[in-house]
Structure 1
Amino acid sequence: MANETFEELAETFEFLDDWEDRYRHVIDMGKAFAPLDEAFKVPATKVEGCASQVWLVTSFDGQGPDAVLGFQGASDAMIVQGLIAVLHALYAGLTAKEVGEVDALAELGRLGLNDHLSAQRSNGLRAMLARIQENAAIEAAR
């Protein structure tokens, strides 16, 4: 159950023939992603389990299961910054309840990310997913 933005990304990835082009596209997405204010780069927002430094800040418009997820993030690694942008494409505009219904690993698998990320990057991606899903579950339970 991906949103329209992610569907467009998946279509773009189908058009890109090799992983090098896809890799560059992910990096370009990261460069275009809105920067995270330095004030949010604190231990409470840092995602553990990532090889590089990663910060994620989730927010919700509304309360409870129908609250709409928004998040910002940053990393000191270009590819990880791009992965944050990919996650934003996957989840942006979904409600807290809908976030829990997305099979994120399957959706990301459509992009071929599972096959081309190092083990450390894959672990970091799973840690970011866990943070977003956990925060959405807490909000959905309100």
Structure 2
Amino acid sequence: MLAPLPTIIENFEFMDEWEDRYAYVIELGREMPRLPPERCTEENRVHGCESQVWLESRLDESGGKPILTLEGESDSSITRGLVALMIAIYAGKSPEEIAATDGLDVFRQLDFSNHITSKRAGGLRAMNERIQREAHKLSA
């Protein structure tokens, strides 16, 4: 189970070295539940990522307030950690809340833009756009 976003941000802020931050990103990916292979479909694949990335979303209305539940997978350990962080950003939010949130703000806050490749940054944008599209579709 992933740690809540405030805990993840706090942990990042304690780390001065980017080598430690990358190790933490990889650990986040290890902690994220695996998406079963049969759900790693073309329909769930995120295009625009250097690595293979799959995101599956569904509306969960069991708790009264509808929330968009996200699950993800990647074939790269660092990218899997970035997927986990993106999922943590949107965890527990309704489609309307997600549509009003820019998940990339957290990555900017943590200074990822200066420490990841342009291809990985493009992959983060692609993941965020995918989640935003799903949220807009479900909130309409």
TM-score by length of 1: 0.91
* Structure possessing the higher relative contact order (Cα contacts under 8 Å, 6 or more residues apart): 1
Superposition deviation, residue 8 in structure 1: 1.5
Matches within 5 A, 1:88-107: 88-107=87-106
Superposition deviation, residue 102 in structure 1: 1.3
Match in the other structure for 1:72: 71
CA distance in 2, matches of 1:46, 1:103: 21
CA distance in 2, matches of 1:52, 1:78: 10
TM-score by length of 2: 0.92
Match in the other structure for 1:83: 82
Superposition deviation, residue 7 in structure 1: 1.6
Amino acid at match of 2:42: P
Q: Is the 8 A contact 1:60 1:69 kept in 2?
A: yes
Q: Is the 8 A contact 1:58 1:72 kept in 2?
A: yes
Aligned residues: 136
Greater helix percent: which structure?
Answer: 1
Structure 2 unaligned runs (5+)? none
Match in the other structure for 2:15: 16
Q: Secondary structure in 1 aligned to 2:29?
A: helix
Amino acid at match of 1:49: G
Amino acid at match of 1:68: I
Structure 1 unaligned runs (5+)? none
Superposition deviation, residue 67 in structure 1: 2.1
Match in the other structure for 1:113: 112
Q: Does 1:137 align with 2:136?
A: yes
Query: C-alpha deviations, 1:1-39, integer Å up to 9, x for none?
Result: xxx921221111110111111110000000111000111
CA distance in 2, matches of 1:105, 1:71: 16
Q: Is the 8 A contact 2:90 2:103 kept in 1?
A: no
Q: Is the 8 A contact 1:61 1:70 kept in 2?
A: yes
CA RMSD of aligned residues (A): 1.5
Q: Is the 8 A contact 1:28 1:82 kept in 2?
A: yes
Amino acid at match of 1:19: W
Superposition deviation, residue 108 in structure 1: 1.7
The percentage of counterpart residues that share the same residue type is 38
